[in-house]
Amino acid sequence: MYKVFVNDKPLFLTNEISKETDFQLFLLESIDIEHLIVKMFQNKIQKAYLYHPDEKEIMKTLKAKIPVNKAGGGLVYNKKGEVLFIFRNGKWDLPKGGIEKGEEIEDTAMREVEEETGVGKLRITNKLDKTYHVFKRNGKYKLKVTHWFEMQSDFEGIPQGQAEEGIEKVAWLNPEQIKEALKNSYENIKLLFEKENTFQ
């Protein structure tokens, strides 16, 4: 099962039909995906399930219905075990950004972390789960698929937020501060930390 967030509300892609009743179930093959996304953005639908019998085909089927943007991001630890967060649009987030032509996704993730936070001396230590969310740009809905990597950094300086990206703050947060920050973050970011299980 995949979770795709639309306006921070979950759209579940599943190959199982369960008997819950608090959500709407649609057939992925025949759904007008834009119509569903609009309803989620308008808060008319709080969560929905898209059903497709073949789990291997689910994501492929969705990607055929909506343009895809590929991005890379970092869950970056320093020597003290703190994690690098950015603050933008009133929420705590992790550094990430879109892939450039001809770039490997690992390079995208490291480049974006460095551009958005000024933190260098990065090395990738682990590949994490991908996250999925729908956003609107120039009147078009797109699916952003973010490839996340765990990284270590020996950077000693003061992080600097990339102003043109609207980043107001960059901070190294300890586990207690992370718990607090996640209360004002995005569902995808919370999901990443749930999977990591380090900050429960």
Count structural domains, the chain. Answer: 2
Residues 53 and 110 in one domain: no
Domain-terminating residue out of 25, 44, 63? 63
Q: What is the tens place of the pLDDT at every residue in 11-24?
A: 999 998 877 667 78
Q: What is the tens place of the pLDDT at every residue in 52-86?
A: 999 999 999 999 999 999 999 999 999 999 999 99
Residues 17 and 106 in one domain: no
Q: What is the tens place of the pLDDT at every residue in 82-126?
A: 999 999 999 999 999 999 999 999 999 999 999 999 999 999 999
Tokens representing residue 17 in the block = 């039909």
Tokens representing residue 152 in the block = 């270590």
Q: Distance between CA atoms of 109 and 123, rounded to whole angstroms? A: 11
Q: Distance between CA atoms of 168 and 66, rounded to whole angstroms? A: 31
Q: What is the tens place of the pLDDT at every residue in 149-196?
A: 999 999 999 999 999 999 999 999 999 999 999 999 999 999 999 876
Residue type for position 50: L
CATH number, domain containing residue 163: 3.90.79.10
Report the predicted TM-score, pTM, of the whole model to 2 decimal places: 0.92
Residues 136 and 189 in one domain: yes
Instruction: State which residues form the domain around 9.
Output: 2-63
Residues 167 and 117 in one domain: yes
